[in-house]
Copies of this chain bind each other. A is one copy, B any other.
Amino acid sequence: MARAGLTAERLTQAGAELADEVGFDKVTVAALARQFGVKDASLYSHLKSSQDLKTRIALLALAELADRVSAALAGRAGKDALEAFANAYRDYAREHPGRYAAAQLRLDPDAAAASAGGRHAQMTRAILRGYDLTEPDQTHAVRLLGSVFHGYISLESGGSFSHSAPGTQETWSRVLDALDALLRNWPAA
């Protein structure tokens, strides 16, 4: 009987594509096995568990996203960098909703350490170089930016903004204006 040529990498890749098509929560070992025309049990030679599969997809997404953000950020500073950064996240979430959902998976400490999480944190800090903030305000600002972007993308994709005017694109760009203004005039403690 011909072999399907499974590897952890191919399974992870296929799992990521499946996630974008049907939703991250519907990525199951069984569904993935179906895609490759093999039995469920066969995947366990390559994956430790269903959780392992999900973690791998999350790590893939975090790395892809970090690459994109990094590319978007190259050569930019100030508001230009802020916008590029924010748009890179939002665009990725729109193009790859399943992967983006995977990137929100809570990782165990080992996986988190091996993830691109550190790159994301560094890049967020890099944006602030264009603004005049010192510690601990820089950390507060990093956390605020993370919250706004994550929150906005999450609410927007959940449809929370789709029931009222104006359009979300307009709000997005006004929110970026507002954040830029805030970072330029960060209130003293």
A residues with CB within 8 A of B? 104, 106, 136-137, 139-141, 143-144, 146-152, 154-155, 158-161, 164-166, 168, 170-171, 174-175, 177-178, 180-182, 185-187, 189
Contacts of A182 in B (CB 8 A): 178, 181-182
Complex CA–CA separation, A76 to B180 (angstroms)? 29
Complex CA gap A141/B152 in Å reads 12
Contact of A151 among B136, B151, B160 (CB under 8 A): B151
User: This chain: how many copies in the complex?
Assistant: 2
B contact residues around A164 at 8 Å (CB): 139
Contacts of A141 in B (CB 8 A): 178
The complex places the Cα of A157 from the Cα of B174 at a distance, in Å, of 28
Residues of B within 8 A of A140 (CB): 166, 170-171, 174-175, 178
Contact at A189–B174, with CB atoms within 8 Å? yes
A1: min CB distance to chain B, Å: 37
Q: Is the CB of B106 within 8 A of A170?
A: no
When distances are taken between beta carbons in the complex, the residues of chain B under 8 Å from A146 are 151, 155, 160
Q: Say whether B171 contacts A178, CB under 8 Å.
A: no
A106 near B159 with CB under 8 A, answer: yes
Instruction: Determine the chain B residues whose CB is within 8 A of the CB of A175 once the complex forms.
Output: 140, 143-144, 147
- Chain B residues contacting A149 (CB-CB under 8 Å) are 147, 151
| Shortest 7 CB-CB contacts between residues of A and residues of B | A151-B151, A147-B151, A147-B152, A150-B151, A181-B187, A140-B174, A182-B182
- Given A136-B166, A177-B189, 8 extra CB contacts under 8 A: A106-B158, A137-B174, A139-B171, A144-B175, A146-B151, A147-B147, A177-B187, A181-B185
